[in-house]
Chains A and B, each alone.
Chain A
Amino acid sequence: MTTSREQPRIDRRDALRALSLTGLGAGLLAGCEAGEDPFALTKPAVPGADGWMRGEERWVSTACGQCPAGCGVRVRVVEGRAIKIEGNPDCAVNRGGIGPRGLSGPQVLYDPDRIRQPLRRVGARGEPRFEPISWDDALALVSERLRGLREKNEGHRAAIVCGRERGLMLELWQRFAAAYGTPNLIDGMSTENGPVADAMHWMQGVREIPAHDWNQTRYVVSLGSGILESSCQLVYFARAQGSMRRGAAGSRAKIVHAGVAMTRTAMNADEWIAVRPGTHAAFALGLAHVLVRDGLYDQAFVAEHGFGFDAWKDEQGVEHAGFKAALLEYTPEKVAEICGIPVESIARIALDMHANRPCFALAGSEALLASNGVRAAMAVHALNALLGSIDRPGGLLVQRQAPLADWPEVEPDEIAVAALAQERLDGAGGPRFPLASSVLDALPEALLSGTPYALDSLFLYYANPLFSRPDPARWRKALEKVPFIVSFSPFLDETASEVADLILPDHSYLERWEDAAPAPSIGFAAFGVRQPVVQPLYSTRASGDFVIQLAKAIGEPLEEAFPFADFKDAMKQRVVGIFSAKRGSIVEEKGNDFLKRLYGSGYWNDDSYPFESWEETLRTPSGRFEFFSQSMWKAISEIATASGKTPAELLAAHGLPGDLDRVCMPGYDEVSWRGKSEEHPLALILFKPNSYPVGGGANQPWLQELTPWTGRRTYTTEAELHPDTAQAAKISDGDRIEVASGVGRIEVVARISRRVLPGIVRIPQGGGHTAFGRFARGWGANVMDLVGVVPGSSLSGVPELCGTRVAIKKVQA
C-alpha cells in the first residue's frame, strides 16, 4: 500500500512512455510534410519557359481558331504559358469581344488528352491501340504510298476531306490535289453553309455566304436562322444586334424570327412567327408575292440589275417563264396554310419590310438543311433582291477579299491531268449531284459500293465523320473499306481512334502559323494572322508544314508546285499582296515594317466597302441578279446531255416534279421527309448549341457547362418537346425517352416546353462522344445516329439534318 507521503516512482520506462507520447502527438499534428513551403506553386514545365524572365508576361495578338468566325484575340502569356485569352479591339469582327469558345482556348492547348506524337495503328481497327512513330518515318510512309499510287496512274484513288470552308489551308490542300492529281477534295462548305453559298453562286455568281450590313439596316427577317445560338459568328451577331437596337428614338431596328421554336434568336427578336418545319421558303415567297402584288418591290433594281424576273427568251428563241409569274401561286392564303400561320401576318410583315428599308432576310440551318434547302435559300435571296437590298447599305454584302498575292500557278503533269479527269467519288458535278461542288455525305455509299472506283488512301483534315456526320454506323462500315486512312486530328477523336491507320497530330491553334480569313460578316476585306503564342508543347506538327514536306518528299512535279520553306513562308508569299496594295489599316514602305505591324496587331483590314460595285458582286452570265439562274439551267442541261438524258428525265430521276425552268427559280418544295409518318410521326429538328456546335468543343469543360438551354442540366442530351407531344406519348419532364428513326435510336432526357411547336423533337448536336478525351466521352447521345447519311433527292447534295421523321417513347426504368 502506498501512503500519501510516499514518492511515486517515475522510472525510465515512464519517462520513455511520456517522450513517445510527446513525439506521437507532435508528429500526428504536424504530419510528415514539415519543412515544405505550403505556399509554393508548382508550375508545370513547358518548352521555352527558360527564355522568359521570372514574372515576365507578354500579350500576343493572334486569331482565334475555335470556329471560322475569325475573331482577333490577345493572349496573355506568362513565363511561356498561355494564361488568358481576350478579344482584340483592333479586329473589326469582334471589336474586343470574345465568345465562350474563344475564352476556352487554353483548355484546347492544355487538354491532357492531346495526342503528343505521331501514332501508327498496331491493333485491329476499332481498338485504340497505337505505337509512336517518328515524323520522318511517318512522312516516308505517306509519301511512298502516294508516290506508288501516282506511278500506277491511280492518283484519283486518294481523297482529301478538308473541314475548312475557306482560307489558305484549304487552298494548300487544293493545290496539293491539283499537283498530285486527284479530283477528290471535299471541302467544309458542303457540310453546313452550302445552300446559302449555292444560292449566291447561282443568282449572283459568287460561291460564298453573304455578309449583312447590320449597322445600317432597319428591319431583319430571320428565317430559322440561329444567329444568337448556332452561328459561329456569335460575337459579331451579338454585337451587331446590340448596335442596331441602340439607335436614336424612333430608329430602333426590328427583328422578326420565323421558325419552329422559341430559340435564343426568337427570344431576342421583336416577334416570333411559329412556322411549320421546312416551310420557311413558302413564308419568304409569300412576302415576295405581297411586295410584287402591291408594287412595293424595288422596280428600279429589278429593271436595271435583275434578270429573269419577267419571261425571257434564250439565244434559240425559246421562251422561259419569269420569277414574277412563279410568284403568283404563293398567295398569303396559301402560304398561311402551308406554314400554319395567320394570313394577316404575311401582308403585315411584307408591308413592314417595305416601310422600314433598308432591310434584309436571312435563312439558317432549320430552313436550309433539308431536301428543299437550296431553293429555300434562293427564295430568301430573291426576297432580298426585291427589297433592293443587294450590295446596298443595310442589306446583303459580298465579303470582300484581302488583296493577297497569288501563289505560282500549278501545272499538273500528264499523270495528274489524267487523274483529275476521273469522276469524283462523291458524284458532285455529275448526274448524281449535278449542282454540287462537293458532297461529303455521299462518300459512304461510294466507298461501300466501290463505284466508280475503290479508294486507297483517305486524308482527314479537321474531319471526324464517325461523330459529326449523319449515320456514324454507316460511315464506320464505309471507312473500313479504305485501306489507308490518315487523320491530322490533335485529339483522339472517334475517327482517329477507330479507323485511322496513321495519326499526324496538328499543333493546336495557339502553337501554329496560319491565316484566319474571317467567315463573311463585316463585308469589307480583312485578314487575320494566327501565330504561335507559346512553343509547341509536344512533338506535334502544323499540318500545313506537313503538306509542304509531303509534296517535297513525293518529288517532282509536286516539289516544284510547293516552293515554300514552310507554311509561314507560304503565307508570307500571299501577304506580300496586302503590303503591295498599300491600303487599309497597315501601310508601310518597308516589308519588314509591314510584317512587324501585322504580326503585332494580328489583323489587317480595309474598312471601306464599295457599295453597288456590280461588276464585283454580280458575276453571273448576264452580269445581273438572276431570279432565273442561267448558269444552273446550263449546268443541268449539259450534265443531262452528257449522261444521255433530257433535263426533265434527269430531274425526274431526282424525284423533282416539273420542268427545268421551275427548278432554276426560287420556289417552295415540300420537304421529302425520311420515314413514314405512320411509324415516325414527329419531325426531328437538330440544332447547334453555341458552346460545342458539332462536337468540336465537347472536350472543353467550360463549354460543356454552357447548356443549350439556360439553366438546364449539364453533361446530358435533352430533347425539347411541346407538352401536347409529350402528353400523347405519356412523357413527363425529365423522363428518359427513346427517340427512334428509320436509321437508329438514341436515349435522351425529355424537356417539356411550350417554346417549340407540337409535333417536333428538337435535339442539340454535340453529345454522345465515344472518344475525344476524358471530358467529351461517355455522356449524352449523338443525334446524328438518327439521321440518314445519303443526301436524298436534292440536286445539290445538301445534308438533310432537318428532314427526318422520328417516334418517341418513354424508357421504362
Chain B
Amino acid sequence: MKRLLFFAAVLIVAAGAASAVFALRRSPPAIVQPIAFDHARHVQEELSCLDCHKTAETSPQASAPLIATCMLCHNEAKGLHPDEPKIREFAERGEQIPWVQVNRLAGHVYFSHAMHVKLGKMECSECHGDMAAATLPVTRSQVDHLTMSRCMACHSEREASNDCLTCHK
C-alpha cells in the first residue's frame, strides 16, 4: 500500500513538474537585453523620449535608435556603467545593438504611435509609465497592462472611437 502511495505521490510530483515546465514554455522567458539600458540616466541628461525613439510621432512604430545615434555620446567612456563599453564594441564590429522587442501586438491589432502621440497628444508615460525612474531595461511584466480593456477604457474616457475597425483593421 505504501509503495502504491509512493508511486502515486511520484506521479503527482511528475505531473506537477511537467505542468510547471509546460507553463514556463507557454510564457516567454525573461528578456535579457544586450545592454542593461538605464532610461533614468539618459533622462537625467535631458534627453527626451523622441531623441531616441525618433519615429514615435510619425510612424506606427516608435523606433529604437541606430548605433550611430548612441555613438554620438558614447564614442568615448561616459560614467561607470559596466555595459557601456559594449556599445563601442558593437560599433567597432560594425553591428547594430540587437535590442530585444519587449511587447508585440497580435497581428489582428493595428496600433499607431503617431496617431496617439501626434493627434491624441498623449504623453509617453501614460502608457509606458515613468521611464524617467527606470534604471533597468523594461520587462514583460511592465507591459502586461497594455490590454484591450485598457485601450477601450482610455478611448471611452477621451471620447475616441471604440468601433471594432478602429483597431482591428
Interface digits, B1-18 against A, CB 8 Å rule (1 contact, 0 not)? 111001100110111011
Smallest CB-CB separation from B99: which chain A residue?
A: A54
B33 CB within 8 Å of chain A: no
Q: Report yes or no: A50 in contact with B96, Cβ–Cβ below 8 A.
A: yes
A782 to chain B, nearest CB (A): 38
B24 CB within 8 Å of chain A: yes
Which of B58-66, B77-85, B116-124, B151-159 is found at the contact surface with chain A? B58-66
Q: Report yes or no: B21 in contact with A34, Cβ–Cβ below 8 A.
A: yes
**8 Å CB interface, A1-39 against B:** 4, 7-8, 10, 14, 18, 21-22, 25-26, 28-31, 33-39
**8 Å CB interface, B85-132 against A:** 96, 99, 101, 104
Complex: how many Å from CA A30 to CA B2? Answer: 30
B106 to chain A, nearest CB (A): 10
Complex: how many Å from CA A53 to CA B11? Answer: 51
With contact pairs A34-B21, A37-B28 given, residues A26 and B65 touching in the complex (Cβ less than 8 Å): no
**8 Å CB interface, A48-95 against B:** 50-57, 78
Q: Report yes or no: A41 in contact with B104, Cβ–Cβ below 8 A.
A: yes
B151 to chain A, nearest CB (A): 19
Q: Report yes or no: A7 in contact with B10, Cβ–Cβ below 8 A.
A: no
Complex: how many Å from CA A228 to CA B55? Answer: 41
With contact pairs A8-B1, A22-B17, A41-B104 given, residues A34 and B61 touching in the complex (Cβ less than 8 Å): no
Smallest CB-CB separation from B53: which chain A residue?
A: A55
Complex: how many Å from CA A28 to CA B21? Answer: 10
Complex: how many Å from CA A478 to CA B126? Answer: 72
- Contact partner of B63 (CB less than 8 A), chosen from A22, A26, A54, is A54
In the complex, which residues of chain B have a beta carbon less than 8 angstroms from the beta carbon of A18? Answer: 6-7, 10, 14
Q: Report yes or no: A8 in contact with B2, Cβ–Cβ below 8 A.
A: yes
Q: Report yes or no: B6 in contact with A53, Cβ–Cβ below 8 A.
A: no
Smallest CB-CB separation from B95: which chain A residue?
A: A50
Q: Report yes or no: A55 in contact with B29, Cβ–Cβ below 8 A.
A: no
With contact pairs A30-B21, A53-B55, A53-B66 given, residues A10 and B3 touching in the complex (Cβ less than 8 Å): yes
Q: Report yes or no: B19 in contact with A29, Cβ–Cβ below 8 A.
A: yes
In the complex, which residues of chain A have a beta carbon less than 8 angstroms from the beta carbon of B3? Answer: 8, 10, 14
Complex: how many Å from CA A619 to CA B13? Answer: 94
**8 Å CB interface, A370-427 against B:** none
B54 to chain A, nearest CB (A): 7
Complex: how many Å from CA A54 to CA B62? Answer: 8
- Contact partner of A57 (CB less than 8 A), chosen from B13, B59, B99, is B59
Q: Report yes or no: A34 in contact with B17, Cβ–Cβ below 8 A.
A: no
Q: Report yes or no: B6 in contact with A57, Cβ–Cβ below 8 A.
A: no
Q: Report yes or no: A21 in contact with B59, Cβ–Cβ below 8 A.
A: no
**8 Å CB interface, A126-183 against B:** none
- Contact partner of B14 (CB less than 8 A), chosen from A25, A41, A52, is A25
Q: Report yes or no: A14 in contact with B22, Cβ–Cβ below 8 A.
A: no
B6 to chain A, nearest CB (A): 6
Smallest CB-CB separation from A18: which chain B residue?
A: B10
Q: Report yes or no: A57 in contact with B55, Cβ–Cβ below 8 A.
A: yes
- Contact partner of B18 (CB less than 8 A), chosen from A7, A28, A37, is A28
Complex: how many Å from CA A242 to CA B89? Answer: 60
In the complex, which residues of chain A have a beta carbon less than 8 angstroms from the beta carbon of B60? Answer: 57
In the complex, which residues of chain B have a beta carbon less than 8 angstroms from the beta carbon of A39? Answer: 28, 104
Complex: how many Å from CA A562 to CA B65? Answer: 43
With contact pairs A29-B22, A37-B29, A41-B104 given, residues A53 and B14 touching in the complex (Cβ less than 8 Å): no
In the complex, which residues of chain A have a beta carbon less than 8 angstroms from the beta carbon of B2? Answer: 7-8, 10
Q: Report yes or no: A31 in contact with B18, Cβ–Cβ below 8 A.
A: no
In the complex, which residues of chain A have a beta carbon less than 8 angstroms from the beta carbon of B168? Answer: none
In the complex, which residues of chain A have a beta carbon less than 8 angstroms from the beta carbon of B10? Answer: 18, 21-22
In the complex, which residues of chain B have a beta carbon less than 8 angstroms from the beta carbon of A52? Answer: 66
Smallest CB-CB separation from B13: which chain A residue?
A: A22
With contact pairs A4-B1, A8-B1, A50-B96 given, residues A55 and B25 touching in the complex (Cβ less than 8 Å): no
In the complex, which residues of chain A have a beta carbon less than 8 angstroms from the beta carbon of B18? Answer: 22, 25-26, 28-30
Complex: how many Å from CA A56 to CA B57? Answer: 11
Q: Report yes or no: B25 in contact with A53, Cβ–Cβ below 8 A.
A: no
In the complex, which residues of chain B have a beta carbon less than 8 angstroms from the beta carbon of A10? Answer: 2-3, 6
B51 to chain A, nearest CB (A): 12
In the complex, which residues of chain A have a beta carbon less than 8 angstroms from the beta carbon of B65? Answer: 53-54
With contact pairs A18-B6, A55-B62 given, residues A38 and B28 touching in the complex (Cβ less than 8 Å): yes
A559 to chain B, nearest CB (A): 38
Q: Report yes or no: B14 in contact with A34, Cβ–Cβ below 8 A.
A: no
Q: Report yes or no: B28 in contact with A53, Cβ–Cβ below 8 A.
A: no
Smallest CB-CB separation from B17: which chain A residue?
A: A26
Q: Report yes or no: B55 in contact with A55, Cβ–Cβ below 8 A.
A: yes
Complex: how many Å from CA A10 to CA B17? Answer: 22
Q: Report yes or no: A55 in contact with B22, Cβ–Cβ below 8 A.
A: no
In the complex, which residues of chain B have a beta carbon less than 8 angstroms from the beta carbon of A22? Answer: 10, 13-14, 17-18
Complex: how many Å from CA A54 to CA B14? Answer: 43
In the complex, which residues of chain B have a beta carbon less than 8 angstroms from the beta carbon of A57? Answer: 55, 59-61
Q: Report yes or no: B11 in contact with A55, Cβ–Cβ below 8 A.
A: no
Complex: how many Å from CA A36 to CA B25? Answer: 8
In the complex, which residues of chain B have a beta carbon less than 8 angstroms from the beta carbon of A31? Answer: 25
| Max chain B Cβ within 10 angstroms of own Cβ: one of A29, A38, A78 | A29
| Max chain A Cβ within 10 angstroms of own Cβ: one of B6, B18, B22 | B18
Smallest CB-CB separation from A4: which chain B residue?
A: B1
Complex: how many Å from CA A50 to CA B19? Answer: 41
Across the A-B interface, give the 6 residue pairs with the lowest CB-CB distance, nearest first.
Answer: A55-B61, A54-B64, A53-B63, A8-B3, A22-B14, A18-B10
Pairs A–B under 8 Å by Cβ, sample size 5: A14-B6, A25-B17, A30-B22, A39-B28, A57-B60
Q: What 7 additional pairs, Cβ within 8 angstroms, besides A33-B25, A41-B104, A56-B54?
A: A8-B6, A22-B13, A28-B18, A54-B64, A54-B65, A55-B64, A57-B59
- Give me the interface of B with A, judged by CB distance under 8 Å: 1-3, 6-7, 10-11, 13-15, 17-19, 21-22, 24-26, 28-29, 54-55, 59-66, 96, 99, 101, 104
